[in-house]
């Protein structure tokens, strides 16, 4: 298993996080990458810097104006009088406003709300460089997988909640979607994503919603009790050419290894039926029983078995790091998963 990581990813250190009316330290800390890197070194896996990319590479799955916003937001924010250290939205255009002609205003405050789904994705010093580096890792890993060798992109910040033109849930650029798109551009005809992060991969679903060349499956905590709340249910199956190409497998709070692995089995069966010739695994470890905001209760052995099952699909695969916020355990869980994979 070849590994891609970028040093710029450590420069993103979001502070703001709002939870149940309380401002808390953001969970998406640079130490997460340190824990994962330590595991990569412990396993003696080959570690590479990604090949450089241009912002236009990110625009393969994102709106160009959104990419431009991400790369320049700090300039506008820092020009505001009496501004805080990070760009955080304090309002969003509502469905009523949008139905009545709302437009993107010429204002950084308006733009931050326009391009963000929630307050969990502050933009601060180093955010764009980290986002850009994570995207480069996903693309480099996909380039290698396109040659038949599976690879792990150690992406931070994560990406699977990012839509084509919207950040959300610690995510800015959808690294997993970029990996899937890269595989297609390198000759894959049909790509599947099997998202095993504890949260619904709503951004990936959104990006490929009406496309028939990417099958998106997600195994996650029931959105009636867990982020992203509004989507992630079984009735969301895609539209147009993508009808039937999205599979949501929500699980009840406290679901342990057996229910989680059974859902992964369903996603694997559906991937086979779809006829995918390449695979992307948005790989979060927040389904762990030891996760700070625990919803599912998956053991380290469960992650090992998931690795074994996904490897058995026999497809060129890009593993893309998503969530998981227990810094002490993240590296161990990566080792468990890759141990099952048979790295
Ligand atoms: Zn997550």
pLDDT at 343 (0 to 100): 82
pLDDT at 294 (0 to 100): 86
**100 CA from centroid of ligand 1 (Å):** 34
Angle, alpha carbons 249-254-255 (nearest 5°): 40
**199 CA from centroid of ligand 1 (Å):** 4
What the block records as the tokens of 269 is 């069966």
pLDDT at 175 (0 to 100): 98
Catalytic residue among 160, 161, 199, 220: 161
**82 CA from centroid of ligand 1 (Å):** 33
**287 CA from centroid of ligand 1 (Å):** 8
DSSP state letter for 279:
E
pLDDT at 126 (0 to 100): 96
Rounded Cα distance, 195 and 257, in Å? 16
Q: Who's near 72: CB < 8 A, 6+ residues apart?
A: none
pLDDT at 293 (0 to 100): 83
Per-position pLDDT tens, the chain of length 343: 999 999 999 999 999 999 999 999 999 999 999 999 999 999 999 999 999 999 999 999 999 999 999 999 999 999 999 999 999 999 999 999 999 999 999 999 999 999 999 999 999 999 999 999 999 999 999 999 999 999 999 999 999 999 999 999 999 999 999 999 999 999 999 999 999 999 999 999 999 999 999 999 999 999 999 999 999 999 999 999 999 999 999 999 999 999 999 999 999 999 999 999 999 999 999 999 999 888 999 999 999 999 999 999 999 999 999 999 999 999 999 999 999 999 8
**284 CA from centroid of ligand 1 (Å):** 6
User: In the β-sheet with 47-48, what is the strand arrangement from edge to edge?
Assistant: 47-48, 2-4, 151-153, 317-321, 278-283, 191-195, 214-221, 246-251
Mark the residues whose beta carbon lies below 5 A from ion ligand 1: 197-199, 284, 286, 323
What the block records as the tokens of 223 is 């959105």
**285 CA from centroid of ligand 1 (Å):** 7
161 is catalytic: yes
**20 CA from centroid of ligand 1 (Å):** 18
**161 CA from centroid of ligand 1 (Å):** 9
Going 18 to 23 to 29 to 32, the CA torsion angle's sign is negative
């Amino acid at each position: 298993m070849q590994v891609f990581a970028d040093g710029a990813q450590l420069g993103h250190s979001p502070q703001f996080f709002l939870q149940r009316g309380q401002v808390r330290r953001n969970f998406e800390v640079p130490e997460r990458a340190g824990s994962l890197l330590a595991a990569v070194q412990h396993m003696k896996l080959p570690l590479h810097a990604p090949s450089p990319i241009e912002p236009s590479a990110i625009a393969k799955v994102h709106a160009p104006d959104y990419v431009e916003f991400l790369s320049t937001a700090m300039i506008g924010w820092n020009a505001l009088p009496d501004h805080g250290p990070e760009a955080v939205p304090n309002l969003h255009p509502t469905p009523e406003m949008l139905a009545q002609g709302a437009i993107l205003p010429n204002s950084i405050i308006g733009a931050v709300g326009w391009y963000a789904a929630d307050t969990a994705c502050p933009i601060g010093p180093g955010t764009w460089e980290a986002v850009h580096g994570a995207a480069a890792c996903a693309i480099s890993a996909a380039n290698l997988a396109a040659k038949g060798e599976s690879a792990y992109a150690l992406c931070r910040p994560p990406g699977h909640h990012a839509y084509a033109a919207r950040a959300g849930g610690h995510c800015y650029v959808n690294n997993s979607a970029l990996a899937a798109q890269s595989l297609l551009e390198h000759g894959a005809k049909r790509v599947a994503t099997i998202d095993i992060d504890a949260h619904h991969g709503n951004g990936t679903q959104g990006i490929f919603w009406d496309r028939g060349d990417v099958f998106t499956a997600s195994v996650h905590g029931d959105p009636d009790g867990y982020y992203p709340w509004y989507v992630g249910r079984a009735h969301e199956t895609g539209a147009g050419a993508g009808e039937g190409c999205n599979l949501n497998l929500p699980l009840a709070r406290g679901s342990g290894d057996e229910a989680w692995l059974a859902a992964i089995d369903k996603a694997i069966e559906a991937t086979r039926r779809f006829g995918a010739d390449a695979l992307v695994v948005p790989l979060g470890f927040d389904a762990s029983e030891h996760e700070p905001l625990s919803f599912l209760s998956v053991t380290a052995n469960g992650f090992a078995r998931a690795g074994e099952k996904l490897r058995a699909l026999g497809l060129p695969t890009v593993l893309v790091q998503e969530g998981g916020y227990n810094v002490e355990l993240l590296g161990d869980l990566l080792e468990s998963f890759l141990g099952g994979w048979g790295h």
